[in-house]
Amino acid sequence: MTARVLVIAGTDSSGGAGLSADLGALGAHGVPARLVVTAVTAQGPTGVAGLWPVPVDGLRAQLDQAGDVQAVKIGMLGSLDAAALVAAWLARRSLPVVIDPVLGASAGGALGSPAALVPLLALATLVTPNLPELEALGGVGWLSRHPGAVLVKGGHGHGETLEDHLFGAGQARVWRHPRVAGVHRGTGCRLASAIAARLALGDPLTDAVDGGIRWLQLALGATAEAERNPVD
């Protein structure tokens, strides 16, 4: 049986993040995608210029056609109604779920609300916030209350060595790696999709996280050396 990942996320007109990044990461792992487009955005070097959520009926129709998938990756949702619909759909299924709580773009601009994620977080196998997103969700207090696993990404930290921390659900591990020079858009999308791909292929959670982080570091190093965006 072919492993497939359902990606529920928005578009990025610049091609640097969102569904473009998700598809690149899944393709690198040889895992086909099923897509639910939650919103269309206009983005460029200066940030987010516009965001247009897909109506709930459109989301429901896409979910109805998702077919057989082995894992789910959730990025930008676009609206509270979208979050509620996706939560209800997931509650009827038993699937590994990776949530990348997309609340802002690397180039600047708001892309979501922490309140939109509340119905979904308890259903997640893994939540992957960066440091600003963790604070928006409630910081250490939220982290201590969350029932599932959380990978706190260190890309927004200071210094030349970054740390990613896995917490919760009996998991505890730290990854340290050197900062790769430059601005790298869509890294959160790529990492969450890589982890979802590995979960779909049957990896245990810690192995999936480890493999996803190692793959992303290799991809960033290669693209930095070639001076191009990872989506290329």
The rounded distance, in Å, linking the Cα atoms of 41 and 231 is: 17
The domain segmentation of the chain, as residue ranges, is: 5-226
Q: What are phi and psi of 229, to 5 degrees?
A: -75, 145
Instruction: Give the pLDDT confidence score for residue 119 in this predicted structure.
Output: 73
pLDDT-derived band of residue 46, with 50, 70 and 90 as boundaries?
Answer: confident
Location of structure tokens 């601005």? 183
The pTM is what?
A: 0.90
Does residue 69 carry a pLDDT above 80? Answer: yes
Instruction: Give the pLDDT confidence score for residue 23 in this predicted structure.
Output: 97
In this structure, what DSSP letter does residue 143 have?
H
User: For domain 5-226, which architecture applies?
Assistant: 3-Layer(aba) Sandwich (3.40)
Q: Collect all residues with Cβ–Cβ distance below 8 Å to 110 and sequence separation of at least 6.
A: 48, 103, 104
Q: What is the pLDDT of residues 131-184, one digit of tens each?
A: 999 998 889 999 988 889 999 998 666 678 889 999 987 778 999 988 876 666
pLDDT-derived band of residue 124, with 50, 70 and 90 as boundaries?
Answer: very high
Alpha carbon of 215 to those of 56, 75, 210: distances in Å? 35, 19, 9
The per-residue pLDDT of the chain, averaged, comes to: 87
Does residue 14 carry a pLDDT above 70? Answer: yes
